[in-house]
Amino acid sequence: MKTTAVIGEAALDVAACLERVRQRDEEAARLLLHHLYPLVLKLVRAHLPRRTSEEDLTQIVFMKIFANLNQYSGTVPLEHWVSRITINACLNQLRVEKVRPELRWSDLSEEESYVLQCLSSTDEDAHPDHHYASKELVEKLLASLSTEDRLIIQLLHIQGHSIEEIKKITGWKGPLIKVRAFRARNKLRSHLAKLLPQEQR
């Protein structure tokens, strides 16, 4: 059965397109890039390191895709294979940046401090006016995690992917995903507790 994808009004035969790309057909490479671009861009935006541009990382991903196309066996959907390359490129860039700062109470803005106090003292959500501060606080807390822990929290709890979906995206085994998620949540709780003023712990 042929694998096809719709581009505009025309259906792309992915297998035939891949074969043409391997034979250095530039038009086929352009069609394949056009087909894969939305997927790659979505993943890059979801896992973009702070000091890397979206455009640069997307270009890096496509360079890796085309450089390793001969390694694609066809045993899994092309989109799954591309997702793994994209996620790994994001993880590698995160490692290069080494974004693991030690976050302190004094680093928080007034709004972030308010959100943290709400989280620690009540079961109620912060006021809607503070949703931006909540997002900023989450990003700062995630930055304190390792690249793998940060990825698992984003995929599982922020983007809402299932364990099965994460297996396809990352290539990790189910039990490993569950263990990493458990440990990452514990680390987040620990980082959150350390941020609280002494009298609120």
Give residue limits of the domains in the chain.
Answer: 4-97, 105-200
- Among 134, 176, 180, smallest CA distance to 153 is for 180
pLDDT of residue 85: 93
pLDDT at residue 61 is higher than 50: yes
- Among 56, 46, 129, 146, smallest CA distance to 94 is for 146
Asked if 47 and 154 count as a contact pair (C-beta separation under 8 A), the reply is yes
Q: Which CATH class is domain 105-200?
A: mainly alpha
Which strand (E) or helix (H) includes residue 182? Answer: helix 174-195
pLDDT of residue 99: 47
Q: Could you confirm whether domain 4-97 is CATH 3.90.1300.10? A: no
pLDDT of residue 188: 77
Whether the model pTM is above 0.75: no
Task: Identify any residues that bridge with 198 across adjacent strands, giving them in sequence order.
Answer: none
* Residue 164: Cβ-neighbour burial (10 angstroms; 0-12, 13-18, 19+): exposed
pLDDT of residue 1: 38
CA 159 – CA 108 distance, rounded (Å) = 25
Q: What are phi and psi of 31, to 5 degrees?
A: -65, -40
pLDDT at residue 17 is higher than 80: yes
* Residue 120: Cβ-neighbour burial (10 angstroms; 0-12, 13-18, 19+): middle
Q: Which two tokens stand for residue 149?
A: 């822990």
Alpha helices in 74-173 (DSSP H): 78-97, 110-121, 131-143, 147-153, 163-170
pLDDT of residue 154: 82
Helix %, strand %, coil % of the chain (to 5): 70, 5, 25
Name which residue leads in pLDDT, 39 or 11.
39
Q: Which two tokens stand for residue 123?
A: 């079961």
The residue with tokens 């959500």 is 125
